[in-house]
């Protein structure tokens, strides 16, 4: 029955009303809220400056609504609530702040990652919040309003002696777990080569396909540290409470990588969304929204429209 309910929900978007009262954020000692009602979701008031920037001839996918696509594939970015139906997560919370700011009702459309570009270009939805990194190639077809740094995180067991990894040299002599074929693996291997050229101790690289085995390696001391996407590791650390963060690096190292609300090129939505995000940054609602999902380390100080993106490989 849960599977059937989920399929029925996917036929339409999940609609959330605009202009509510602001609820309190979750306290650090509380469990992460996975309920469909999301009573602790951070909400925002209208931002008149952002609303004035909306094009007069703007055609939304659904009148009066901001229709936003997201991929509810993995928390904290997005997943389904305990009803196996309602999409929730950090990306939905950011979309909510934007919709509230623009005086629109949020409609969330669960979308496979591979399908969001065509859906955005065709007008099926107005925006995407799905951990999309700004790249120069994507900027040719889409506009961007940044809202998060794309970070990699180093995590150790709670009782590990290691306190900080602040530079590539700090991984010398450590046993580091990383996933094969990933961007973070390539960065780590470049660091190891550079450290070797400096005569520093070698770094042992470990690979695990099974997450349970990976966790055991960290807890038993067979490995010192895990390097992976900060967001997913931060969410797990907050829920399981067996690991802690000791350092972050840009996912585009040595370039800075940023995550952004993605809209169709020339649709006229990017600048209003950027203004809306900056208003919420200043109001503190943005920071509270990230804190709900343990993503404060990825917060930006100011949203930018179409900043320099990662270069084409």
Buried b (16+ CB within 10 A) or exposed e, 167-205: ebebbbebbbbbbeeebbbebbeebbeebeeeebeebeb
Which superfamily does 151-250 belong to?
Periplasmic binding protein-like II (3.40.190.10)
Q: Which two tokens stand for residue 10?
A: 């996917």
Which superfamily does 2-150+257-298 belong to?
Periplasmic binding protein-like II (3.40.190.10)
What CA–CA distance (Å, rounded) separates 185 from 82?
A: 34
For residue 38, count CB atoms less than 10 angstroms from its CB and return exposed for 0-12, middle for 13-18, buried for 19 or more.
Answer: buried
Domain with CATH 3.40.190.10 in the chain: 2-150+257-298, 151-250
Residue with tokens 């859906």: 119
Nearest to 146, CA basis, from 17, 235, 7, 262: 262
Q: What is the pLDDT of residue 181?
A: 87
Entry pTM? 0.85
Give the contacts of 253 (CB within 8 A, at least 6 positions apart).
Answer: 152, 187
What CA–CA distance (Å, rounded) separates 101 from 269?
A: 13
Q: Which two tokens stand for residue 159?
A: 């009782």
Q: Which two tokens stand for residue 295?
A: 């993503």
10-residue stretch averages of pLDDT, the chain, 313 residues long: 38 49 38 90 98 96 97 93 95 98 98 94 97 94 97 97 97 97 92 97 96 96 97 92 96 93 97 98 98 94 96 77
């Amino acid at each position: 029955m849960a599977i059937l309910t989920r399929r029925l929900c996917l036929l339409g978007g999940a609609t959330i009303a605009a202009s509510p009262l602001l609820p309190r954020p979750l306290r650090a000692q509380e469990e992460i809220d996975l309920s469909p009602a999301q009573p602790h979701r951070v909400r925002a008031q209208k931002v008149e400056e952002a609303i004035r920037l909306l094009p007069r001839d703007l055609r939304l996918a659904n009148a009066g609504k901001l229709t936003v696509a997201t991929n509810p594939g993995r928390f904290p970015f997005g997943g389904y609530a305990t009803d196996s139906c309602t999409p929730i997560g950090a990306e939905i919370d950011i979309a909510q702040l934007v919709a509230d700011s623009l005086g629109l009702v949020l409609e969330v459309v669960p979308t496979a990652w591979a399908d969001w570009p065509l859906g955005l270009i065709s007008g099926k939805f107005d925006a995407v919040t799905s951990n999309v990194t700004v790249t120069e190639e994507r900027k040719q077809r889409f506009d961007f309003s940044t809202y998060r740094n794309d970070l990699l995180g180093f995590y150790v067991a709670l009782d590990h002696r290691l306190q900080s990894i602040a530079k590539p040299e700090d991984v010398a002599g450590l046993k580091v777990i990383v996933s094969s074929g990933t961007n973070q693996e390539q960065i780590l291997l470049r660091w190891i080569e550079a450290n070797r050229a400096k005569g520093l101790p070698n770094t042992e690289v470990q690979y695990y396909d099974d997450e349970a085995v990976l966790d055991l390696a960290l807890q038993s001391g067979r490995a010192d540290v895990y390097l992976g996407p900060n967001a997913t590791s931060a969410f797990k650390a907050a829920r399981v409470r067996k690991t802690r963060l000791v350092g972050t690096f840009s996912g585009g190292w040595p370039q800075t990588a940023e995550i952004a609300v993605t809209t169709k090129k020339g649709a006229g939505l990017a600048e209003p969304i950027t203004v809306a995000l900056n208003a919420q940054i200043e109001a503190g609602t943005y920071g509270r929204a990230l804190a709900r999902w343990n993503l404060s380390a990825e917060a930006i100080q100011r949203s930018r429209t179409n900043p320099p993106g990662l270069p084409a490989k």
